[in-house]
Amino acid sequence: MAEEHRLITKQFREAGYTPDLDCYLRHGGYDTLRRALRVTPEQLRNEVGVSGLRGRGGAGFSCGLKWSLVDRRSGKPIYLVCNADESEPGTFKDRQIIHLDPHQLIEGMILACYANDVHLAFIYIRGEFAEGARILNLALTEARAKGFLGKGILGGTYDLDIHVHRGAGAYICGEETGLLESLEGKRPYPRVKPPYYPAVLGLYQCPTIVNNVETLCAVKHVLAMGGTEYAKLGRPNNTGTRLVCLSGHVQQPGYFEIEVGAVTFRDLIFDPAFGGGLREDRTLKAIIPGGASAKVFRADEKVTLGGPGLEGAGPKRKVDVLDLPYDFTTLTAAGSMSGSGGIIVLDDSTDIVAALANLSEFFAHESCGQCTPCREGSLWMAKILRRLGSGQGRAGDADQLLHIADNIPGGRTICAFGEACSWPVQSFVGKFKAEFETKEAGV
Amino acid sequence: MSSTTPSQTTAADTLTVRVNGREVVVPRTMPEAVSGKAVPTTMIQACEAAGVTVPHYCYHPKLPVAGNCRMCLVEFGTPALGPDRQPLLNPDGSPVIRQSPRPAIACATPVSPGMEIYTDTDGVHAMRRAVMEFLLINHPLDCPICDQAGECKLQEYALDHGQAASGFDEVKVHKPKTVDLGPRILLDAERCILCSRCIRFTRDIARDDALGIINRGSYNTIAAYPGRQFDNNYTLNTADLCPVGALTSKDFRFRMRVWFLKESKSLCAGCGTGCNLLVGSRENRIHRFTPRQNDAVNSCWMCDEGRLNYRWVGRGDRLKSPLNRRSGATEWGTVLDETADLLRNASRGSVAVIGSARATCEELFLLKKLCQHLGARSDCVPREGEADGLLVSDDRNPNSHGARLTGVCFTEIGINLPYLANDIEAGKIRTLLVLGEDLTKPELELPTDLLGRLENLIVGDILPNPTVDQAHIVLPGCAHLEKRGTFINVNGRVQRFFKAVEPPGQAMPETGWLGGLLERLTGEAPARSAEALFNQLAEATPALKGLTWAALGDQGVTVEV
């Protein structure tokens, strides 16, 4: 029987738990900060390194490694930016944290800032999260009043302030360099890497750490438990807990906190502790495992895991998709990704062409248009899918979609949006080709 | 983000890479386009050094890198390192190259020691083909009615890297056409490929952040900021920079197909900067100026004012015929004979010369000879304005240093003018030769009716003006676009220019009639060609010592002035 493992969300469903500072303090809030300020930043960074914590924003990049890449010798200030531009369709975890426990995020941020000699940090929150921004600003005011922020935090010598910046409603602002451009007041065109790696040339051309909301909360728990203890959760290279967002055709959609790799898709969809199964008389058709941009799995797909060269290791074997443990490396090895943790469940009532058309419409709308393949390709794919979906299909449309989708990703674009808009097309058309070909006849 | 591997091959300030198998040594750093700061050498620069052109739209060597067009994607590999961070070697001793699984944009990716760059693989060709297809799906594809045809990178690369057919069978994105961005630039947003060259130019070079992109994705459109006109003095450079037919010059668009234009190397004579330019002309008519790259002078740019300063050349009221108003003679031979007689008979000290710092070095050289022969005092007319900190100089004469070095005027141009005016008023100077200046212009603050006091007013000019109207003898000359010669710019750059079009009627280069006068007065014919005259001038002038016309080349030579 699978179950949740709640660290970050421990108090979320507790009756009477409120997002104000008093409630947070009653539950041991800011204790980790009090203890952490007594040790050196290097020790804290080391704990995070040992914890094996991977970023929860989508790419799963090692948090400790990201921090270790920061240029600490430039003589310039180091900034930390919390990426709260949660916009990936199917993802709604950061919003829960912000709404239900803003001080947990703030404490995580202060810890991460102290560990990295940061004295000014920002929370970049998506424009649509007006209420979230209000809650965060209120929490920051409380934290300042109680001496958790500002000059000489908790009577010590460490200074830090945090500002909330609201976006204006663009998915691309979640791309960390696009986010930094937007924070600087510019059009959020992602930056060319090299040379603009945030760790060296980030906000205002200064070394900058951009971490996701959930990651920063996890940092708090890493430092509360100690890196070694945290690393015991999950499995090697997939440590700790993470929030998954279950949506689509399940009985109980919602967010759940799991020990990474400890539950499978079968658990997540069918277990009463999670999705609670499909709707009556429905069968599973497909799973989008990590936000809209992750490659889709067919429900009846067998995935080859293990064998030489494949992460996740173990002997080479065929695994039923439903039996895949939900972690970073397994899903990568299975040809998709856990991404932002947004699991979208599609049952047999789903028109797969319409589903992809919906996703592609989103990506065509959100492409910033900076670089050629994504700007032109994302809308082209959406136009073909719009046609296919409205009975205007033509012979060859499915192959044309694959042709376009194959010419966008793989380092041909400035940012990962190229992958984000083409992976769904590659996987939907590739795995459900018959359904697309049926529509080519103009049904 | 690996740490840099130590250089195995060369000195500390260079490194060796291979481009399509050919070894090339490049500097580790090169100056950044705008700031001049040393930044790591990029793949595209290394390819350039290896003689390999990587196709590109958004990249421009004089602009900050944008990396958005993706046309310059290349494949590459770097030396593989062992666990000890030392390069792994093949059995033959050559380094093992680890191929990058992802391509890189050549314009923005720094080279590293031992890197191998491949621009000619199937993979690279496929990527270019894909980018071309993407760029063309929403493009109008109406080259026959597009003004850019013939100098369009989209056209050229479509031929080189594109494919004849496209799978695109949808309705194209429609965007605004004939958008008035400012007084001199029109935008056709449908032709635009959003390379952002214009934006970067006006923000980083012209320092006027006037342009931006509005909307999103495939609907992106270049626009001037709301309520703003794109009207700085450098806007027309964006029409040059635009690789497609999106930005066009209102002055030039639809006037002439570019492949009909003859291009002549010339200079702008609008100020002391001396921007290098190409004159585009057809059938003896000038249709446009475009900047010609000279990194010592104007980089790739020129100001709008200078660029549009050509229409007068073809004016119908140009002076076309020599004229002695007293004798009625209109033949060069007769008019020059009569002019020479007049000068010969003038008493010593009664002749003065007012030249122009818009004249060429060669003309000023002959003018000085004439002054010396006649014992005439001389000066030129100053022409001052405000410098803009970019290309426009506060000295609006193109050849002030030429006027000084030849001795036609002194350190400060125009310092002699009040004295000469006094002497005219006092009746001491009775004969005045004026070359290319209107002395009645109010800013010169010369007494009105000064010229009326002269016995003889000889004027060489190209357009009618009040001074010409009062002249007893009129000698029609040439615009600098109708002759060859040299100017020396404010920084001492000696630059030559060539003839683009023929002068009207009997008008002749000033060196022609000046030489004719000198021959008649001295019995000795001076050299006729600009080459010979410049070489003589250089020989006779310490600051120009050792220079020859040939040695000036197309980019000029800077001298100590």
Predicted pLDDT of residue B9: 42
* Domain residue limits, chain A: 21-232, 238-347, 352-440
Mutate to test the interface with A, among B102, B173, B218 (most CBs of A within 10 A): B218
Inter-chain Cβ pairs, chain A and chain B, closer than 8 A: 106
| Candidate CATH numbers 3.40.50.720, 3.30.70.100, 3.40.50.740, 3.40.50.300; the one for domain B323-558 | 3.40.50.740
Chain centre distance of CA B111:
32
Predicted pLDDT of residue B5: 44
Contacts of B68 in chain A (CB under 8 A): 189, 370-372, 414
- Residue that has been written with the tokens 């002269």 in this structure: B454
Local structure of B39: helix, strand or coil:
strand
Asked if A247 and A253 count as a contact pair (C-beta separation under 8 A), the reply is yes
**Along chain B (561 residues), what's the average pLDDT of each consecutive run of 10 residues?**
41 91 97 94 98 98 97 98 91 94 97 97 97 97 95 96 91 97 98 98 97 97 95 98 98 97 98 98 97 98 98 96 98 98 96 98 98 97 96 98 96 94 96 97 91 97 97 98 98 98 98 98 96 97 96 97 88
* Domain residue limits, chain B: 6-131, 142-153+165-314, 323-558
Contacts of A414 in chain B (CB under 8 A): 67-68
Predicted pLDDT of residue A50: 97
From first CA to last CA, the distance across chain B in angstroms is: 50
Cβ–Cβ contact B30 with A under 8 A = no
**Any bridge partners for residue B460, and if so which?**
B435, B475
Cβ–Cβ contact B198 with A under 8 A = no
Is 60 exceeded by the pLDDT of residue A142? yes
Cβ–Cβ contact B81 with A under 8 A = no
Predicted pLDDT of residue B164: 86
Nearest CA in chain A to B217: A369
Predicted pLDDT of residue B432: 98
Contacts of B105 in chain A (CB under 8 A): 192
**Average pLDDT of chain A to the nearest whole number:** 96
d(CA A143, CA A166): 20
Architecture of domain A352-440: Up-down Bundle (1.20)
Contacts of B134 in chain A (CB under 8 A): 372-373, 375-377, 380, 407
Nearest beta carbon to residue A375 from set B105, B133, B218: B218
d(CA B37, CA B29): 9
Nearest beta carbon to residue A371 from set B68, B102, B216: B68
Residue type, B98: R
Q: For residue A396, give Cα distances in angstroms to A388, A399, B168, B214, B432.
A: 11, 5, 11, 34, 85
Contacts of B138 in chain A (CB under 8 A): 376
Residue A50 to chain B, least CA–CA distance (Å): 21
Nearest CA in chain A to B134: A376
d(CA B378, CA B368): 8
Residue type, B237: N
d(CA A305, CA A315): 8
What backbone torsions phi and psi does residue B148 show, to the nearest 5 degrees?
-80, -15
Local structure of B317: helix, strand or coil:
coil
Write out the DSSP string of B101-162.
Answer: SS-EETTTPBP-TT-EEESSSHHHHHHHHHHHHHHHHTS---GGG-TTTTS-HHHHHHHHH-
pLDDT digits (tens, 9 = 90+) for A200-248: 999 999 999 999 999 999 999 999 999 999 999 999 999 999 999 999 9
Residue A401 to chain B, least CA–CA distance (Å): 10
Asked if B189 and B177 count as a contact pair (C-beta separation under 8 A), the reply is yes
CB contact under 8 A, B218 and A365: no
Residue A54 to chain B, least CA–CA distance (Å): 18
List helix spans (H) across B276-416.
Answer: 304-307, 332-345, 361-374, 400-405
Q: For residue B408, give Cα distances in angstroms to B164, B355, B370, B376.
A: 63, 7, 10, 10
Contacts of B39 in chain A (CB under 8 A): 195
A 277-336 residues with CB below 8 A of B? none
d(CA A275, CA A253): 6
CB contact under 8 A, A369 and B218: yes
Nearest beta carbon to residue A372 from set B104, B135, B171: B135
Mutate to test the interface with B, among A191, A196, A375, A385 (most CBs of B within 10 A): A375
CB contact under 8 A, A414 and B68: yes
Architecture of domain A238-347: Roll (3.10)
Contacts of A396 in chain B (CB under 8 A): 167
d(CA A58, CA B183): 48
The bridge status of strand A208-212 relative to strand A78-84 is parallel
Percent of chain A with pLDDT over 70: 98
Residue B41 to chain A, least CA–CA distance (Å): 12
- Residue that has been written with the tokens 């001074």 in this structure: B467
Evaluate whether B142-153+165-314 and B323-558 have a shared fold: no
d(CA A243, CA A192): 31
d(CA B394, CA B296): 18
d(CA A100, CA B219): 38
Is 80 exceeded by the pLDDT of residue A309? no
Asked if A325 and A339 count as a contact pair (C-beta separation under 8 A), the reply is no
Predicted pLDDT of residue B3: 39
Residue type, B423: D
Domain at B6-131, CATH class:
alpha beta
Q: Does domain B142-153+165-314 have CATH number 3.55.50.30?
A: no
Nearest beta carbon to residue B68 from set A199, A365, A370: A370
* Both structure tokens of A374: 């994504």
- pTM of the predicted structure, to 2 decimals: 0.94
Q: Check whether the bond before B243 is cis (ω within 30° of 0).
A: no
Q: At the topology level of CATH, where does A21-232 sit?
A: Rossmann fold (3.40.50)
Cβ–Cβ contact A197 with B under 8 A = yes
Confidence of residue A1 (pLDDT cuts 50, 70, 90): low
pLDDT digits (tens, 9 = 90+) for A412-441: 999 999 999 999 999 999 999 999 999 998
Contacts of A195 in chain B (CB under 8 A): 39-40, 108, 110
Nearest CA in chain B to A66: B1
A 398-427 residues with CB below 8 A of B? 400, 403-404, 407, 410-414
- Residue that has been written with the tokens 């310039």 in this structure: A76
Residue B554 to chain A, least CA–CA distance (Å): 36
Cβ–Cβ contact A354 with B under 8 A = no
Nearest beta carbon to residue B217 from set A379, A396, A400: A379
**What is the rounded radius of gyration, in angstroms, for the C-alpha atoms of chain A?**
22
Nearest CA in chain B to A68: B1
Nearest beta carbon to residue A375 from set B167, B171, B217: B217
Residue B127 to chain A, least CA–CA distance (Å): 7
Cβ–Cβ contact B108 with A under 8 A = yes
For chain B, helix (H) and strand (E) counts, in that order, are 14, 25
Residue A220 to chain B, least CA–CA distance (Å): 28
Chain centre distance of CA A112:
18
Mutate to test the interface with A, among B134, B197, B204 (most CBs of A within 10 A): B134
Phi-psi region of B94 (alpha: psi -120 to 50; beta: other; left: phi over 0): beta
Residue A378 to chain B, least CA–CA distance (Å): 8
Asked if B359 and B514 count as a contact pair (C-beta separation under 8 A), the reply is no
Burial of B77-103, coded b for 16+ CB within 10 Å and e otherwise, reads: bbbebeeeeebeeeeeeebebeebeeb
Cβ–Cβ contact B353 with A under 8 A = no
Residue B161 to chain A, least CA–CA distance (Å): 15
**Any bridge partners for residue B187, and if so which?**
B179, B247
Q: Dihedral (C-alpha) A395, A396, A397, A403: value to the nearest 10 degrees? A: -170
pLDDT digits (tens, 9 = 90+) for A153-166: 999 999 999 999 99
Q: For residue B561, give Cα distances in angstroms to B79, B386, B489.
A: 52, 22, 10
Residue A268 to chain B, least CA–CA distance (Å): 35
* Both structure tokens of B169: 């069978």
Residue B170 to chain A, least CA–CA distance (Å): 7
Write out the DSSP string of B185-226.
Answer: EEE-TTT-----HHHHIIIIIS----EEEES-GGG-EEEEPT
**Any bridge partners for residue B72, and if so which?**
none
Local structure of B467: helix, strand or coil:
helix
Residue A152 to chain B, least CA–CA distance (Å): 35
d(CA B359, CA A107): 75
Local structure of B277: helix, strand or coil:
strand
Q: Biggest alpha carbon distance in chain A?
A: 73
Nearest beta carbon to residue B67 from set A69, A407, A414: A414
d(CA B336, CA B348): 20
Residues 6 or more apart from B197 whose CB is under 8 A from it? B58, B60, B63, B66, B238, B241, B242, B243
Nearest beta carbon to residue A372 from set B1, B40, B131: B131
List helix spans (H) across B375-508.
Answer: 400-405, 417-425, 466-470
User: Is A38 buried (19+), middle (13-18) or exposed (0-12) by CB count in 10 A?
Assistant: exposed
Cβ–Cβ contact B393 with A under 8 A = no
ipTM: 0.94
Nearest CA in chain B to A170: B216
What backbone torsions phi and psi does residue B523 show, to the nearest 5 degrees?
80, 5
Predicted pLDDT of residue A313: 63
Tell me which DSSP letter residue A441 carries: T
Chain centre distance of CA B118:
35
Nearest CA in chain B to A197: B1
d(CA A419, CA A413): 8
What backbone torsions phi and psi does residue B185 show, to the nearest 5 degrees?
-125, 135
Average pLDDT over residues A400-421: 97
